[in-house]
A and B are shown apart, each in its own frame.
Chain A
Amino acid sequence: MAQRRTNGSKLLMTVLCVVAACRAVPVTDLLDRASQRSDRLHSLSTMLTQELKMPEMAPLCLTISAAFSVQVVTNSPSRLQDSHFPPIGRVIMPRPAMCHTSSLQTPNDKEQALQVSESDLLSLARSLLRAWVDPLLVLSSSANTLPHPAQNSISNKIQELQEHSKSLGDGLNVLSGKMGPAAQTMSLLPYRGGNDLGQDKISKLINFQFLLSCLRRDSHKIDSFLKVLRCRAARMQPEMC
């Protein structure tokens, strides 16, 4: 009987110790890991957009009629003339404002961003991340049949994107649990693009590219928010920033 008690108390002690050890993971570490993940996420999406902007698109552009107002989304900075889309051809490209996440209010400059609280920042990040789960599925399924020469590489990257997105989401969920109830709130941003990107080859490609551009921006937002959070949480460790 006494032995049972000692055994029970020992078990309890070990459980407490484990819990305490688990709780000992600092938030800064978690944020650091989260920001690394989001960094990788953004890199992948940038690579994808660049891979899609291949010369093969040029003949496609030529076939697009000029009736629609078009915007050539050249996200390549600095080399603005370095567009794979010839100026003569205008591509029917949905505007970035037409991203399904554009309704989410995010800071537009640094001052605004620095004024946002940590929980709000985290909530924004989580919402954005959550909004892309479904579109990534659509992208993934479309990538298998994408009429593009780099289709295999694109498909792999999207696969990786999905994995990172999932793990980041889980991590952010843990973080939000540590940062209070305000961090738990999330905005819903449903994706209404349907399961199909398009019927014909051209529209498929265009929609694919458009989605990727939206993803690129959103992943950058997530990354920026998390890095700001990381810096704020590591006031004692300025080398983090």
Chain B
Amino acid sequence: MMKKFGEVILLLLLLLLFFVPHAEGTRYSLPGKPALTRCRSPEKETFTCWWEPGSDGGLPTTYALYYRKENSEMVYECPDYHTAGKNSCFFNKNDTSIWVNYNITVVASNALGSTFSDPVDIDVVYIVKPNPPEKVAVTVMEDKGWPFLRVSWEPPHKADTRSGWITLIYELRVKLDGENEWEMHLAGQQKMFNIFSLRSGGRYLVQVRCKPDHGFWSEWSSASHIKVPDYFHRERSVWILITVFFAFIFLIVSWCIHINSHSLKHCILPPVPGPKIRGFDKQLLKNGKSEDIFSALVVSDFPPTSSSNYEDLLVEYLEVYIPEEQELILEESKDLHDGCLKPKGSTFDSDSGRGSCDSHTLLMDKCGEAKDDEQQTDRDGSQTGSEAQRQQAAWEQEALTYAHEDMISPDMSSGRVKTWPSVFSPLPQYSLSPLSQPSSLETAKQHCLSDSLFPPASLSSYLTQPGQSTKEALRSSYSDFCSSNKQPHLLHPQPDARHHLQAHSDVNISSIGHKEAPAGLQLPTVQSTEYVEVHTVNEDDMVLLHPVPSGHSHGKGCLQMHQGEDYSKVNGVDKNNVLLLQRDVIEEQVDMCPCENQDMNGATESCCTSAQKSIPCIHTTLPVQEEKAVNGYVDTATMFPLPIH
């Protein structure tokens, strides 16, 4: 019974022992497999091996290192576990043999058992990794004024390089304090090294390491700091040299530019091409008929041979409708024109008003009024058609009034007519304007020949002959006047303006302008009444005139394909001081743009703001006839390409 009881108790104890660990939740096992991580010999005389323990299996584990040399089967245990730290084995000189293979194994043991690591074979001569070099000294030395660093060191004290047992080669690295990049230098077997190319005033760090001839690099020695003294004065002279050099270069370059300034200017800013040759038809040139081209240039009547011709050609008066503002300017300059004007009393123009020589002053007034009206109408509406209507009405009004005033003040015209005669050049080639000009509200310009366009002195030459009131003749050619520079509006006479003129009955010009042309005169037909429009009046009292295309509405815009007739050419002046216009057919597109006459001297340019087609800009320069330019003629011929006669 006691036996049984004892057995039961034993069984219980065993069960307890068995189950208690399970009850506690821990499991004990064999230790994990350790592994040798590295072995190292600093001087080829001793070496150390380190291992990495595995899991301990929950129980206290002990580690043991066993080794075996290649020649014998004797297994030895590690002689020293402590010198090199934890999990290490240190082999001192007595235990180290070189050129002998060691077979090393680490064993981990705990209460449950032991685990062997994988064996590792090593030969001491192949695992040499020395200590870093010692006593690294850095000094600053000078070489002809330029500083350099001299680095010197000593091999690690353990390594026996004196006997040649171990041969070390060194390497050092330098960097500026604060930078990231090191400069490496291989020093070979020497124990001293010079570093050049230092930054003045820089602070450097130097490190050295070594390696046996067949082994591993050591760690870097601790950094040595050194400060390089300033040698700034050297750098300054360098800067001076650089400055002088660049100044010299600059001088040379500027001198070269100066020498070649002319050609450079031509390169960078090419000169604006000169004006077109008057009478030179581009179209014909393109067609290639040289005879036609050059014949166009030939002016049959040039130079004027007889005074009578001259007289005929010279147009004394033109009806100008100028705005009110311009009147004042005109009045100012009237005295200048006195000498130029022929006494107006010589001829009465049957024209009731506008073109009347005698009633210049009145005419001007009326013009100004009409202008104002037109201006206002323009401002009101942008429709040129309606404006034309209004203008038409205004025109009629004025014409009527002028008719009366003509008689009243014939003498006053003398002071005012100045503008008109000068408008027409003696040359027949001058055309007031191509009458076939499209005109929008903005683009419609009126060619007003006004003395304001020309310098006063120039008028004298023109106002000599036609004493008649050729104004009438001119008048018919003009239907519109520019009211202002900013708002050139078109006073486009209606095709039936002729009637108005005729109604006034004193318009001989109308016959010129509208009816069948007398000899030499080409008058616009009734159907295609061409009017010269006052382009603008600039501040110098120059009225720019544009031919107005007949029958074309103003509102068509700047550009208009026109196949009308051009009556902008003055063929001559007949004995009645009637302006004879030449009838030309113009097929070009003329871009009439609202540009201002800029040049007092007659070179007028109308820049086209809405240039779309072939003739972007119309230059009304007077290149050839300088006298005309001086006198201020608006060379409408140059404004538009002239048709070839």
Give A contacts to B, CB under 8 Å: 39, 42-43, 46, 71-81, 87, 95-97, 106, 108-111, 113-114, 217, 220-221, 223-224, 227-232, 238-241
Contact = CB atoms under 8 A, between A and B. Distances in A.
B120 A80 contact: yes
Contacts of A97: 70-71
Given A110-B165, A220-B214, A224-B165, 17 more contacts: A39-B213, A43-B214, A71-B121, A73-B121, A77-B39, A77-B127, A77-B216, A78-B40, A96-B70, A108-B97, A110-B93, A110-B98, A113-B165, A114-B163, A227-B213, A229-B164, A240-B189
Interface string B318-355: 00000000000000000000000000000000000000
Contacts of B163: 110, 114, 228, 231-232, 241
A223 B213 contact: yes
B167 interface: yes
Nearest to B215: A77
B38 A79 contact: yes
B411 interface: no
B36 interface: yes
Given A109-B96, A220-B99, A239-B190, A78 B216 contact: yes
B164 A87 contact: no
B618 to A, nearest CB: 86
B574 to A, nearest CB: 114
Across chains A and B, which 6 residue pairs bring their CB atoms closest together, nearest first?
A231-B164, A77-B127, A77-B126, A80-B120, A228-B164, A108-B97
22 contacts: A39-B214, A42-B214, A43-B214, A73-B121, A74-B121, A75-B126, A76-B126, A77-B127, A77-B215, A78-B40, A79-B38, A80-B37, A217-B99, A220-B99, A220-B125, A224-B125, A224-B165, A227-B213, A229-B164, A232-B163, A241-B161, A241-B167
A113 B99 CA distance: 12
A105 to B, nearest CB: 11
A134 B214 CA distance: 26
A71 B121 CA distance: 8
Interface centre among A76, A77, A230 (most CB of B within 10 A): A77
A80 to B, nearest CB: 4
Contacts of A87: 118
Contacts of B35: 81
Interface string B112-123: 000000111111
B101 interface: yes
B447 interface: no
Contacts of B264: none
B164 A80 contact: no
A114 B216 contact: no
A48 to B, nearest CB: 14
A47 to B, nearest CB: 11
B163 to A, nearest CB: 6
Secondary structure at the A interface, as helix, strand, loop or mixed, is helix
Contacts of B122: 74, 77, 80
Interface in B86-129: 93, 96-101, 103, 118-123, 125-129
Nearest to B160: A110
Interface residues of B, number: 43
Nearest to A106: B99
Secondary structure at the B interface, as helix, strand, loop or mixed, is loop
Contact of A228 (B96, B123, B125, B165): B165
A227 B189 contact: no
Given A46-B214, A231-B164, A74 B99 contact: no
Contacts of B101: 73, 95-96
Given A77-B122, A109-B96, A238 B162 contact: yes
Contacts of A77: 39-40, 122-123, 126-128, 215-216
A109 B214 contact: no
Nearest to B118: A87
Contacts of B311: none
Contacts of B162: 231, 238, 241
A74 B120 contact: yes
A220 B165 CA distance: 12
Contacts of A223: 213-214
Nearest to B45: A110
A75 B125 CA distance: 10
A61 B547 CA distance: 109
A75 B123 contact: yes
B44 interface: yes
A110 B36 CA distance: 26
B93 A109 contact: yes
A68 B623 CA distance: 117
A72 B121 contact: yes
B204 to A, nearest CB: 26
A178 B395 CA distance: 136
A108 B99 contact: yes
B160 A78 contact: no
A238 to B, nearest CB: 7
B164 A230 contact: yes
Contacts of A76: 126
Contacts of A238: 162
A228 B164 CA distance: 4
A221 B37 contact: no
A240 B121 CA distance: 33
A240 to B, nearest CB: 8
Contact of A78 (B93, B100, B119, B127): B127
Contacts of A43: 214
A232 B164 contact: yes
Interface in B32-71: 35-40, 44-45, 70-71
Contacts of A42: 214
B381 to A, nearest CB: 96
Contacts of A46: 214
Contact of A227 (B93, B100, B167): B167
B123 A109 contact: no
Contact of B39 (A75, A78, A217): A78
Contacts of B103: 71
Given A223-B213, A239-B190, A108 B40 contact: no
A123 to B, nearest CB: 17
Given A39-B213, A75-B123, A77-B122, A241 B164 contact: yes
Contacts of B190: 239
A71 B118 CA distance: 11
A109 B45 contact: yes
A30 to B, nearest CB: 15
A71 B70 CA distance: 10
Interface centre among B93, B122, B160 (most CB of A within 10 A): B122
A9 B262 CA distance: 87
Contacts of B70: 95-97
Given A46-B214, A114-B165, A78 B129 contact: yes
Contact of B36 (A75, A80, A224): A80
A240 B162 CA distance: 9
Contacts of B164: 227-232, 241
Interface in B427-442: none
B121 A109 contact: no
Contacts of A109: 45, 93, 96-98
Nearest to B162: A241
A221 B123 CA distance: 12
Interface string B540-583: 00000000000000000000000000000000000000000000
Contacts of A232: 163-164
B573 to A, nearest CB: 110
Contact of A239 (B45, B160, B189): B189
Contacts of A230: 164
Contacts of A217: 99, 123, 125
Contacts of B118: 81, 87
Contacts of B160: 110
Interface centre among A42, A217, A229, A238 (most CB of B within 10 A): A217
A77 B118 CA distance: 15
A96 B121 CA distance: 11
